[in-house]
A and B are shown apart, each in its own frame.
Chain A
């Protein structure tokens, strides 16, 4: 029963991650397009995009948090594997579990305090002191949104660890 729940959860999280990564990829292309367009307009027409810098800066944060869980899913985050490669069997499992626990804890703090800070900034109406005056809550919202699949991915990987023979 529990296995079935995790299998369904895994499918949902994978789809969610794929959607977030697709968005991050589009933004990657968007970064290039916006910066080139801005340079072109500034250099030849003396009319730079006033919103260009701010949007691209926000996109950097978005790409990072939209892709964070997917990179974790693909084991793409840098790990110093000096010790973990030296041990095997149960010890390796314990180390991996500790690693997942720490990551899960970080993810849960990012989700809780991410939503809390987002809501707090929404309530207080704080905005970025720039031309666009983008509300801060709109910018930082991506932190809890991207951390949620990370937390779920940690749960899935820990569940998978249970079945691995080390």
Chain B
């Protein structure tokens, strides 16, 4: 059979199962075992068992559960909420003050957790009631909360970043460093948008008198709630930059520091601890069962000749390589409107990475852009996961309002993607510093 027929058959069966509502993980496994059996008979099924083991038992995947654990501990113990309150004391009288708080809080939360949904939930819980009380309109409340929630996966700890690096077979440490500046760039663009929008339409975010607090009080609160978080940031990012620890080790130290901080702030709370561990087990299992089919799926595509021929096809296209990259990202944007990030990565990366390597493109900036794209998928209508998180925590808003509020932030994400594509140094700077 022609490779194109096989390729279309594999991909369409997968997408068909997705749409039937079969869990993504079992759709991948089913396609793997079906085509594995058709290609190699019973040996294919034995091979599948071994490839499940090889896909998951990897040292580079270890930061994923540890990062998830960190995020859950910080979120459930309410440490992020204390951080937000302290941060608010420092914010002066600026246009769209509380919306800008979402940006600052989003960036700080991103250094503690990698979950966009938790980011959105935390920002909603801490900011939305106050925003509503002060008369902020949905354009400058929901949008910034959702947009800034997605920063969580852009700044380490980022479980999705680790998974992307593993699937793309690039250095996890380098990749975690390379996404920091693109993440900050997104935050900068969000902040600029909020300021301009509030300057142009001041009625969206009415000014209000900010409660005066003495410098001493601010400093005490900061030493209590912000400074210790520096320790977490150092454990995760600092240890990698200074070459003291691998990403896995820095994740473990980060998680340990989070536990210590949580116990110091709130004391030992068994029920919350149990919930934090169970939540992280749940998300780890959910992600890893999807990932378990990764090796087998790549082998299937390689066996059919699809990987090799798609590379030839892409290189033979009469358009410049840059446009090929844009086209690849564009396809992912479309997929992002109805699929969640990990499933997109599992389908796309085995096809994309050989093309990237053959085109001679540096995979670090390309994958950073891809991660922004994936975060965009979580807030792109109609099926973005963060949109539904927003609806769950703020049911008083209609889905139409939530969709509308997300649009400007999607545009900011696209601008960030374009900037990293045109100036790859944004992504390459920190990994190069670490190498020195």
Contact = CB atoms under 8 A, between A and B. Distances in A.
A86 B246 CA distance: 46
B50 A36 contact: no
B24 A77 contact: yes
A47 interface: no
Interface string B243-261: 0110011011101100100
B57 interface: yes
B234 to A, nearest CB: 14
A155 interface: no
Interface residues of A, number: 54
Contact of A67 (B27, B282, B290): B282
Contacts of B20: 83-84, 95, 98-99, 102
B49 A77 contact: no
A106 interface: yes
Interface stretch (A5-13, A54-62, A158-166): A54-62
Contacts of B17: 102
Interface string A1-43: 0000000000000000000010011001101100110110001
Given A43-B244, A82-B338, A140-B49, A60 B56 contact: yes
Contacts of A35: 62, 66, 248-249, 251-252
A61 B17 CA distance: 25
Contact of B62 (A31, A81, A110): A31
Interface in B211-240: none
A127 B399 CA distance: 54
Contacts of A133: none
B284 A109 contact: no
A129 interface: no
Contacts of A31: 62, 65-66, 252
B37 to A, nearest CB: 9
Interface stretch (B196-204, B300-308, B339-347): B339-347
A136 B51 CA distance: 12
A35 B288 CA distance: 20
Nearest to B24: A78
Interface residues of B, number: 60
A120 B46 contact: yes
A80, A110, A117: residue with the most chain B Cβ atoms closer than 10 Å: A80
B281 A117 contact: no
Nearest to B19: A83
A67 to B, nearest CB: 4
What is the predominant secondary structure among interface residues of chain A facing chain B?
helix
A113 B49 contact: yes
Nearest to A104: B26
A60 B277 contact: no
B48 interface: yes
Contact of B19 (A57, A61, A67, A82): A82
Interface in A90-111: 95-96, 98-99, 102-103, 105-106, 109-110
Interface in B325-353: 338-340, 342-343
B45 interface: yes
A94 B405 CA distance: 36
Nearest to A109: B33
A156 interface: no
Contact of B286 (A39, A71, A83, A114): A71
B49 A71 contact: no
A89 interface: no
A79 B278 contact: no
A139 interface: yes
Given A32-B66, A56-B62, A63-B281, A95 B21 contact: yes
Given A32-B69, A53-B59, A109-B33, A71 B282 contact: yes
5 contacts: A35-B252, A38-B249, A57-B59, A77-B286, A79-B22
Given A78-B340, A98-B21, A102-B17, 12 more contacts: A31-B62, A32-B252, A43-B244, A57-B57, A60-B61, A61-B52, A80-B24, A81-B21, A99-B23, A140-B50, A140-B52, A143-B53
Interface of B: 17-27, 29-30, 33, 42, 45-46, 48-50, 52-53, 56-59, 61-62, 65-66, 69, 244-245, 248-249, 251-253, 255-256, 259, 274, 277-278, 280-282, 284-286, 288-290, 292, 338-340, 342-343, 383
